Amino acid sequence: MAQAQPKPSPLNELCSALPSLPMRLQEVGRFVAANDYDATTRSMRELASVAGADPASFTRLAKALGYSGWDALRAALTEARRPAQTAPFSVRAKSRRIGPNADVTLVKEKLAAEAAGVARISANAIADAARALHSADRIWINGFRSCRSVAELLNYQLRLFRPDAVQLVGGSGPFDLDLGAFRAHDAVVVIGFAPYTAISVEAARAAHNARATLIAIADTIAAPMAEGADHLLLFEAASSPGFFPSLTGAIAVAQSLAAVTFTLGGANAKRKLEQTEGRLAETSQYFVEKG
């Protein structure tokens, strides 16, 4: 019996269909093919503005490819970008040419991709989220597995000037106790990229149930822990070469959040920071060269 053939990727479908599409849809299709990450993370209106096209042309493109509408095509593009759950990192490893400068070339390509990804992060979205952190009674930060480092960085920087209001979920006890402590005037930050940890999705749902403000730092609008988020801060995890997704954008988002939240805190935040620095100096936390 013949085996079922795997379904072609939506990008392959798009590229194959381009020659048969009307000229205007060809232009929109080429834009989507060249900007598939943006196509999965930005609204149709934003894409149309960048592409210089009518938003409705994205819907017409999707229908020309056999999808019910733009949302269905975007969902297919998002799914195609996800790594296989059984081997999320090894499938990213690609065979590369071998030569005396191959390693240097890889580093250059990775650095260029990281810089380009950071440049596409939305400053306005971060500023809006920082205002939510500033006004929150308490801030809960969730990051698990590789995203734990980003969560710890954000927790550390915020606690320098809001020491009594910031908590790293699971930092001092079982996760479920912290999730049960979310309240309506709290802000809950959840950080993640595909493949998503089950606990990050559980934390987002706990924030919804508590009616807390949910801030998701994620790689796509389709991330399950970003569903219904009050603030979605997107970073590029999969566009950088290498076997492991990139956390550079997530770190940039976290540090920007802390910086803007501190600025919004004004004189009170500055005073708290000075008090923290004073305690660090008293306990000799930093190495000082003795003459």
- CATH code of 10-80, in short, is 1.10.10.10
Q: How confident is the model at residue 1 (pLDDT cuts 50, 70, 90)?
A: very low
Backbone angles phi, psi at 143, to 5 degrees: -155, 130
Query: How wide is the angle at C-alpha 44 spanned by C-alphas 41 and 46, nearest 5°?
Result: 80
Asked if the model's pLDDT at residue 262 lies above 50, the reply is yes
> What span, in angstroms and rounded, lies between the C-alpha atoms of 61 and 235?
26
Question: Is 152 within 8 Å of 260 (Cβ atoms)?
Answer: no
CA atoms within 13 A on the CB side of 291: 0
Instruction: Determine which of 33-37, 72-76, 180-184, 230-234 has the lowest per-residue pLDDT on average.
Output: 33-37
The yes-or-no verdict on residue 142 having pLDDT over 90 is yes
Give the pLDDT confidence score for residue 165 in this predicted structure. Answer: 94
What are the pLDDT digits (tens) for 173-203? 778 888 889 999 999 999 998 888 888 989 9
Phi-psi region of 140 (alpha: psi -120 to 50; beta: other; left: phi over 0): beta
Q: Is the per-residue pLDDT at 149 higher than 90?
A: yes
The pLDDT score that the predictor gives to residue 95 is 52
Q: Tell me the mean pLDDT in the region 270-281.
A: 89
Please give the average per-residue pLDDT across 23-46, as a whole number: 83
pLDDT in tens, 233-248: 998 887 766 667 789 8
User: If you average pLDDT over residues 5-14, what whole number do you get?
Assistant: 68
Per the CB < 8 A criterion, the answer to whether 215 and 239 are in contact is: no
Structure tokens at 118: 């950071």
Phi-psi region of 66 (alpha: psi -120 to 50; beta: other; left: phi over 0): left
Domain boundaries defined on the chain = 10-80, 118-282
Stretch 92-118: mean pLDDT, rounded?
A: 72
CATH architecture of 118-282: 3-Layer(aba) Sandwich (3.40)
pLDDT value at residue 198? 86
pLDDT score for 291: 65
- pTM of full prediction above 0.85: no
Assess whether pLDDT exceeds 90 at residue 159: yes
Amino acid at position 119, single letter: A
pLDDT of residue 60: 92
Weakest-pLDDT range from 15-24, 194-203, 209-218, 232-241: 232-241
| pLDDT over 60 (residue 99) | yes
Please report the pLDDT score of residue 51 as a whole number.
Answer: 87
Going by C-alpha positions, the residue among 160, 156, 162, 157 that lies closest to residue 138 is 162
The answer to whether the CB of 142 falls within 8 A of the CB of 219 is no
Percentage of residues of the chain with pLDDT beyond 90: 37
- Mean pLDDT of the residues in the chain: 84
Q: Look at the chain and count its residues.
A: 291
Q: Are 129 and 136 in contact (CB under 8 A)?
A: no
Give residue 59's pLDDT. 93
More confident residue, 19 or 181: 181
